[in-house]
């Protein structure tokens, strides 16, 4: 890509640490000239946050006008004149604003104004109170981009974890786990390995039960669903191995022995992942026709407004989005 990569960063829920980590990441890290950053959010809130953090005052971009000089600009695509910042408080107006900024960034990516988007954390409870009935960013962006086949990947260095199911109560996981769902997530994981530069390493597929079912002694999902799914992936030419006991697979994954790990449910994958990458991990949505990354943490309402949030995960999310935006997206229809 001969021109700079332009990334849109949404500020997230203003009651959380989103504005803080976005501004810290953008202003305190030395970004290469090949990347331009557009922060989508409330201009007054972002400017006040920058003042409190003693960060530079960034120029404001108004859509339809030339982008001001400089590496980063502020942009409020859908102004909310009465929006105020209430650190640590879940509010309907903040949730609606966060959703509006996500919409604007996604549509900007789809129409070519932006080459990728990075999203600061939102409150799922806030979205629910606002009547926005989606479990989170992943499902909302799939809906906005008309994507039917998608998955969540968490990554940090050689550790890459894809989820076969996402935000479900644990009791629902066995009912929702299907052969088709595992195959779909496995295919996306395999396609992402080459996009990320993972070489020809295998896809490690976890079992659902302790000891991967122990031959049926500890559960039948492995024999009934997971093993047939692995066979289906292999027939598609994917080097899938397993089912592997989830209590052992991650020690090898952090050493780079696998291209990715396919976990069966949220905490099976994210528990080990966040143990080693809590402040540095990145969330990448697979299957979208646009590039979307985010920090691998939530709104952290408990520390919002204190100026102590760590922006490393946001920095890494921006880095990854910039790298992937400069490469062909395997799911973008040309």
pLDDT tens, 288-299? 999 999 999 999
> Which residue, among 292, 259, 294, has the nearest Cα to 189 in the 3D structure?
259
> Which residue, among 117, 144, 170, has the nearest Cα to 10 in the 3D structure?
117
User: Do 128 and 253 belong together in one domain?
Assistant: no
Residue 197: pLDDT band with limits 50, 70, 90: confident
User: Do 291 and 281 belong together in one domain?
Assistant: no
The whole domain housing 164 covers: 151-285
Residue 285: pLDDT band with limits 50, 70, 90: very high
User: Do 195 and 275 belong together in one domain?
Assistant: yes
* pLDDT for 218: 86
Residue 36: pLDDT band with limits 50, 70, 90: very high
**Rounded CA separation 22/318 (Å):** 10
Count other C-beta atoms under 10 Å from residue 31's C-beta. 18
> Which residue, among 241, 231, 245, 216, has the nearest Cα to 183 in the 3D structure?
231
- Of 82-91, 101-110, 196-205, 255-264, minimum mean pLDDT range: 196-205
User: Do 166 and 108 belong together in one domain?
Assistant: no
Q: Is the pLDDT of residue 301 over 90?
A: yes
User: Do 299 and 266 belong together in one domain?
Assistant: no
* pLDDT for 89: 94
User: Do 293 and 209 belong together in one domain?
Assistant: no
Residue 66: pLDDT band with limits 50, 70, 90: confident
* pLDDT for 200: 82
Q: Which two tokens stand for residue 183?
A: 């195959």
Residue 47: pLDDT band with limits 50, 70, 90: very high
Q: Is the pLDDT of residue 1 over 60?
A: no
**Rounded CA separation 262/225 (Å):** 14
Residue 257: pLDDT band with limits 50, 70, 90: very high
- Of 56-65, 101-110, 288-297, 325-334, minimum mean pLDDT range: 325-334
Q: What is the mean pLDDT of residues 33-43?
A: 95
User: Do 234 and 292 belong together in one domain?
Assistant: no
Residue 198: pLDDT band with limits 50, 70, 90: low
Q: Where are the alpha helices (DSSP H) in the chain?
A: 18-28, 43-53, 92-110, 124-129, 137-144, 173-176, 179-196, 221, 227-235, 246-253, 266-277, 312-325
CATH number at residue 42: 3.40.718.10
> Which residue, among 63, 72, 78, has the nearest Cα to 23 in the 3D structure?
72
**Rounded CA separation 50/211 (Å):** 50
Q: What angle do CA 171, 177, 180 make, to 5 degrees?
A: 165
User: Do 28 and 115 belong together in one domain?
Assistant: yes
Q: What angle do CA 127, 130, 134 make, to 5 degrees?
A: 40
**Boundary residue ending a domain (264, 285, 306):** 285
Q: What is the mean pLDDT of residues 71-98?
A: 92
Q: What is the mean pLDDT of residues 322-331?
A: 93
Count other C-beta atoms under 10 Å from residue 165's C-beta. 24
Number of domains in the chain: 2
User: Do 86 and 191 belong together in one domain?
Assistant: no
pLDDT in tens, 119-167: 999 999 999 999 998 888 999 999 999 999 999 999 999 999 999 998 8
Instruction: Write down how long the chain is.
Output: 334
User: Do 38 and 86 belong together in one domain?
Assistant: yes
Instruction: Answer whether 118's CB lies under 8 Å from 294's CB.
Output: yes
User: Do 10 and 108 belong together in one domain?
Assistant: yes
CA dihedral 273, 274, 279, 282 (to 10 degrees): 50
**Rounded CA separation 280/264 (Å):** 23
User: Do 189 and 219 belong together in one domain?
Assistant: yes
Q: What is the mean pLDDT of residues 35-42?
A: 97
């Amino acid at each position: 890509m001969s021109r700079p990569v332009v990334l849109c960063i949404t500020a997230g829920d203003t009651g959380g640490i989103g504005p803080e980590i976005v501004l810290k990441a953008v202003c305190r890290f030395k970004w290469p000239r090949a990347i331009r950053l557009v922060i989508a959010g409330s201009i007054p809130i972002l400017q006040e946050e920058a003042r409190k953090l003693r960060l530079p005052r960034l120029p404001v971009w108004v859509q339809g006008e030339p982008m001001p000089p400089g590496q980063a600009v502020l942009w409020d695509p859908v102004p909310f004149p009465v929006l105020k910042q209430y650190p640590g408080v879940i509010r309907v107006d903040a949730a609606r604003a966060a959703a509006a900024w996500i919409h604007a960034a996604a549509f900007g990516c789809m129409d070519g104004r932006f080459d990728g988007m990075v999203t600061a954390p939102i409150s799922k409870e806030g979205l629910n109170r606002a009547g926005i009935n989606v479990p989170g960013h992943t499902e909302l962006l799939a809906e906005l981009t008309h994507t039917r086949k998608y998955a969540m990947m968490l990554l940090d260095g050689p550790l890459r974890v894809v989820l076969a199911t996402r935000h479900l109560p644990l009791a629902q996981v066995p009912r929702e786990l299907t052969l088709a769902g595992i195959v779909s997530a496995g295919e996306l994981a395999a396609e992402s390995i080459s996009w990320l530069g993972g070489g020809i390493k295998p896809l490690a597929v976890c079992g659902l039960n302790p000891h991967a079912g122990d031959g049926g002694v500890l559960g039948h999902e492995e024999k009934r669903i997971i093993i047939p799914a692995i066979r289906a992936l292999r027939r598609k030419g994917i080097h899938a191995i397993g089912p592997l006991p989830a209590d052992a697979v991650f020690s090898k994954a952090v050493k780079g022995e696998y291209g990715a790990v396919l976990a069966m449910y949220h905490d099976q994958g994210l528990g080990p992942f966040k143990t080693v990458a809590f402040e540095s991990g990145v969330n990448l949505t697979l299957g979208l026709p646009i590039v979307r990354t985010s920090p691998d943490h939530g709104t952290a309402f408990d520390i919002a407004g204190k100026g102590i949030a760590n922006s490393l995960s946001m920095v890494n999310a921006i880095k990854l989005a910039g790298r992937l935006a400069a490469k062909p997206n395997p799911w973008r229809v040309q």
